Amino acid sequence: MVYIRAKKVKSDQYLYLVKSVWDSKKSTSKQEIVKYLGKASDVVKDDIPEQYRNDPKILSVLASYNPEDIKKREDATKKSKQQLFKKLTEGNLEECVKIYKGYVEIFNIPDFFDKILRPVMSKVGSDWESGKLSIATEHVASNVAQTLVKIIMEQVSVSGNKKKILLCVPVGEEHHMGCDVLETYLTIKGFKVFNMGTSIPTDSIIEFIDMKKPDMVLISITIQDNVSAGQRLSKKIREHCKIPILVGGYAMQQGDPPKFEGNVIGDISLEEIPKLIRKTPLAN
């Protein structure tokens, strides 16, 4: 059974999606957190994992927290996604920046990445694969999106002195927007981020690890055809040192991900990634 649990902190309610799991040793059920949803007044239907999103009981509980505000937020999110898709495929960077600024005045930067940019770019990719968009339009949208992320990066304030994170992609992977988004968000959270971009040979990545000594490596893979190259990259890194490795990206969200020398990140929100980094033990 999956349901929503609320926890009150001071005057605010915070929601968690939890499930009951039977503990055979103690002959009783226990709660396991499926996902932290956030502040009750900010949570919308899209925050619920897809497999539970249409559960009537969950929707009923969700609607009980400021239903008018939730409806407004859902409408604003839907409208922003439609507008951003249109302007990205038109190549209109100026309007994309306006959409971003308007959205974060109400919400925040992680919400823009998670609830707007990520699903929009997923639609751009799927529409290209199905022939609804030309390859030229897909390239235009991707290039404008990458520039938008760079603009956001220039505007964020940085503070703190946390772990050093290396972001990279395997040879052959030309999509680096996932790394750009992560660089922006992790920098906001105070991490020192090294974003290596694309077309970097594996030996050069290993040399960089030796030189900068990051605390963790995050490998991003967007295209399924590059999974094997990602496996070779993670294996080479692991053979060289014991640095923790996380592997994520769009290719890791398709069905059962293959095995890697490292931990695979599934379809999780940006807000969960810093928590995952903190929980991952450092190499001795």
Q: Which of 65, 85, 109 is the last residue of a domain?
A: 65
**Do 124 and 177 share a structural domain?**
no
For residue 21, tell me if it sits in a domain.
Answer: yes
pLDDT score, position 137: 94
Q: Tell whether the model's pLDDT for residue 62 goes beyond 80.
A: no
**Do 75 and 12 share a structural domain?**
no
Angle between helices 177-188 and 272-279 (to 10 degrees): 80
**Do 119 and 34 share a structural domain?**
no
| Range from 9-18, 76-85, 210-219 carrying the lowest mean pLDDT | 9-18
Q: Which of 155, 176, 191 is the last residue of a domain?
A: 155
For residue 284, tell me if it sits in a domain.
Answer: no
DSSP string, 14-25: EEEEEEEEEETT
**Do 72 and 52 share a structural domain?**
no
Q: Tell whether the model's pLDDT for residue 269 goes beyond 70.
A: yes
**Do 93 and 53 share a structural domain?**
no
Q: Read off the pLDDT of each residue in 252-280 and give the average, rounded to a whole number.
A: 82
Percent pLDDT > 90 in the chain is 34
Higher per-residue pLDDT: 213 or 278: 213
What CATH number has the domain bearing residue 235?
3.40.50.280
Here the tokens at position 180 are 């750009």
Higher per-residue pLDDT: 59 or 220: 220
Query: Please, which pLDDT band fits residue 161 given cuts at 50, 70 and 90?
Result: low
How far apart, in whole angstroms, are the C-alpha atoms of residue 163 and residue 147? 26
- What is the maximum alpha-carbon separation in the chain? 60
pLDDT score, position 100: 93
**Do 43 and 145 share a structural domain?**
no
What CATH number has the domain bearing residue 76?
1.10.1240.10
**Do 229 and 216 share a structural domain?**
yes
For residue 119, tell me if it sits in a domain.
Answer: yes
**Do 136 and 98 share a structural domain?**
yes
**Do 267 and 229 share a structural domain?**
yes
Q: Read off the pLDDT of each residue in 162-188 and give the average, rounded to a whole number.
A: 88
Q: Nearest Cα to 172, choosing from 248, 227, 236? A: 227
For residue 91, tell me if it sits in a domain.
Answer: yes
pTM of the model: 0.63
Of the ranges 60-74, 150-164, 194-208, 249-263, which is most confident? 194-208
SS3 243: coil
Q: Tell whether the model's pLDDT for residue 193 goes beyond 80.
A: yes
For residue 10, tell me if it sits in a domain.
Answer: yes
Please classify residue 62 by burial: count the beta carbons closer than 10 Å to its beta carbon, then call 0-12 exposed, 13-18 middle and 19+ buried: buried
How far apart, in whole angstroms, are the C-alpha atoms of residue 41 and residue 29? 29
Q: How many domains are contained in the chain?
A: 3
Q: Tell whether the model's pLDDT for residue 284 goes beyond 70.
A: no
Percent pLDDT > 70 in the chain is 95
**Do 61 and 72 share a structural domain?**
no
Here the tokens at position 237 are 């890194």
Q: Read off the pLDDT of each residue in 34-58 and give the average, rounded to a whole number.
A: 83
For residue 94, tell me if it sits in a domain.
Answer: yes
Here the tokens at position 226 are 């590059």
Query: Please, which pLDDT band fits residue 170 given cuts at 50, 70 and 90?
Result: very high
**Do 75 and 56 share a structural domain?**
no
Neighbours of 119 (CB within 10 A): 15
How far apart, in whole angstroms, are the C-alpha atoms of residue 23 and residue 31? 10
Residues 223 and 251: beta-carbon distance below 8 Å: yes
Q: Structural domain of residue 88, as residue ranges?
A: 68-155
Query: Please, which pLDDT band fits residue 94 given cuts at 50, 70 and 90?
Result: very high
For residue 261, tell me if it sits in a domain.
Answer: yes
pLDDT score, position 122: 86
**Do 190 and 83 share a structural domain?**
no
For residue 51, tell me if it sits in a domain.
Answer: yes
Q: Which of 34, 50, 65 is the last residue of a domain?
A: 65
